[in-house]
Amino acid sequence: MSDVFKSRVAILGMGYIGLPTAVVIATRGIDVIGVDINPATVAALSRGEVPFVEPDLAVAVSGAVAMGRLTATTETPEAEAFIIAVPTPFNEDRTADLSYVKAAAEQIAPRLKSGNIVVLESTSPPGTTQKVGDWIGALRPDLRMPRDGETGADVFIAHCPERVLPGRIMIEMITNDRVVGGLTPRCAEKAASIYRLFAQGEILLTDAASAEMAKLVENAYRDVNIAFANEISLISESLHIDVWEVIRLANRHPRVNILSPGPGVGGHCIPVDPWFIVSAAPQLSRLIRTAREVNDHRPHHVAGQVVENAKRFRSPTIACLGLTFKANVDDVRESPAIDVVGLIAKALPDVEILVSDPYVSVMPGLLSKYDNLHLEGAHQAVERADIVVLLVEHEPFKAMRHTRLAGKVIYDTRGAWH
Ligand code: SAJ
């Protein structure tokens, strides 16, 4: 019989992954303590409120808090299991910045008791879970850390990468298969007992480095495939062929499934994770690096096209629809739409640019320095514009009646009005 975890869990990092994970565990009748360094996040959670938009999350959080199953604090408490779900951004040289993971490990270390489980969920370069063990071991020489090929460790350390898709987190948290990689097989088995509480997908046990690499490879796979679509778009454009028609036709082949070109690849994962692979094996990662470069170039290409078009007008008004990193979420991290708007605003300082996004009510910091940018409702923006640039295919934009767009120059980067 496989173990199912029954005690208290502390989750460090109450963001897009830590909070939904906390809620689904709490909903299974386990006491969960959410830990975050940001007192505003802790205060909001303690009131049962969610600091960001994700379908079905708010109602689950308020329920779990009201039942007393989910509490929040800035101090790491004692618990039987600890899940680390903090960010792993990259440094200027594109190596992983593990400072948040290290800080989390160092907060957990003094609280650890024999028999406790520590799971790293943050996306990390191969070898990071081992480092977590080393950081904890340095602070707790009294505890035996798990070592490959040895038994009898006092604590169990594993990596279980998150794989949920923003916008579908509450569904995928339950239905996705999970990969659990332990520093030893016993660590993997112990960590899996937590995920058995709520995961309906299969739980696949492996070693920590394979789990770390599998996660990075998943996102690099998507990046490479989006880069392929973006390159097809570039080539089709230069040959005056409609890329959307080409992809529609090619995708009727039973073994072809080309993704959608767009203004670039955003979010906190896909533009970042492939670099962890490149920095682990720079000489060998030619395709992965090129895909990153192709996708990173997209905002420049799109902005360049719009600026060229604008030069055909004496005093044009431009509407840019969408600022978030993808459709139907409120997340603007690493958003290519923001890059496009910034590049246009910079290139055309005398042109009025109206920006609209149903999920964004304040001009993002990166754009606040441009005087020629104004937030506007979508319908007003389109009505006043000579050029309409669709950057994110939010549902209300997709539903916009074609009559509203008649007579305007349209630059539809997502194929939403096709
Ligand atoms: N995009 C395109 N064309 C496409 C698909 C996406 O340009 O055909 C763009 C999106 O607009 C967005 C970016 O790519 O800017 C990334 O969006 P996404 O929906 O592909 O992925 P994320 O970043 O929301 O979530 C990904 C997921 N990984 C994979 O699908 C392999 C998710 O399962 C991971 O959990 C998540 O990264 C993560 O946290 O690592």
**Is residue 210 one of the residues assigned to a domain?**
no
Please say which residue of 154, 174, 201 terminates a domain: 201
Q: Is the CB of 131 under 6 A from ligand 1?
A: no
Are 100 and 244 in a shared domain? no
Distance of CA 202 to the CA centre of its chain: 22
Are 192 and 337 in a shared domain? no
- Looking at ligand 1, which residue's alpha carbon is closest to its atom 23? 267
pLDDT value of residue 51: 86
pTM, rounded to two decimals: 0.94
| Total domains, the chain | 2
- Looking at ligand 1, which residue's alpha carbon is closest to its atom 4? 260
**Is residue 4 one of the residues assigned to a domain?**
no
pLDDT value of residue 2: 64
Are 283 and 406 in a shared domain? yes
- Which residue in 84, 67, 73, 69 sits closest to 30, CA to CA? 69
Q: Is 269 a catalytic residue?
A: yes
**Is residue 206 one of the residues assigned to a domain?**
no
| Residue 121 belongs to domain spanning | 9-201
pLDDT per residue, tens digit, the chain (418 aa), is 467 788 899 999 999 999 999 999 999 999 999 999 999 999 999 999 998 889 999 999 999 999 999 999 999 999 999 999 999 999 999 999 999 999 999 999 999 999 999 999 999 999 999 999 999 999 999 999 999 788 889 999 999 999 999 999 999 999 999 999 999 999 999 999 999 999 999 999 999 999 999 999 999 999 999 999 999 999 999 999 999 999 999 999 999 999 999 999 999 899 999 999 999 999 999 999 999 999 999 999 999 999 999 999 999 999 999 999 999 999 999 999 999 999 999 999 999 999 999 999 999 999 999 999 999 999 999 999 999 999 999 999 999 988 889 999 999 999 999 8
Are 74 and 42 in a shared domain? yes
**Is residue 382 one of the residues assigned to a domain?**
yes
Q: Which residues does 417 contact at the CB level (< 8 Å), separation at least 6?
A: 390, 398, 400, 402, 405, 410
Gap between the Cα atoms of 295 and 302, Å rounded: 11
Are 367 and 328 in a shared domain? yes
- Looking at ligand 1, which residue's alpha carbon is closest to its atom 34? 163
d(CA 222, ligand 1 centre) in Å? 7
Are 130 and 177 in a shared domain? yes
Gap between the Cα atoms of 84 and 123, Å rounded: 10
Are 143 and 227 in a shared domain? no
- Looking at ligand 1, which residue's alpha carbon is closest to its atom 32? 165
Q: In what order do the strands lie in the sheet containing 9-12?
A: 70-73, 32-35, 9-12, 81-84, 117-120, 156-159, 178-182, 203-207
Q: Is 113 a catalytic residue?
A: no
Q: Is the CB of 218 under 6 A from ligand 1?
A: yes
**Is residue 369 one of the residues assigned to a domain?**
yes
Nearest-atom index, ligand 1, CA of 17 = 39
Q: Is the CB of 325 under 6 A from ligand 1?
A: yes
- CATH value at residue 328: 3.40.50.720
How many other C-beta atoms lie within 10 A of the C-beta of residue 48?
16
Are 80 and 197 in a shared domain? yes
Are 236 and 377 in a shared domain? yes
Please say which residue of 174, 201, 228 terminates a domain: 201
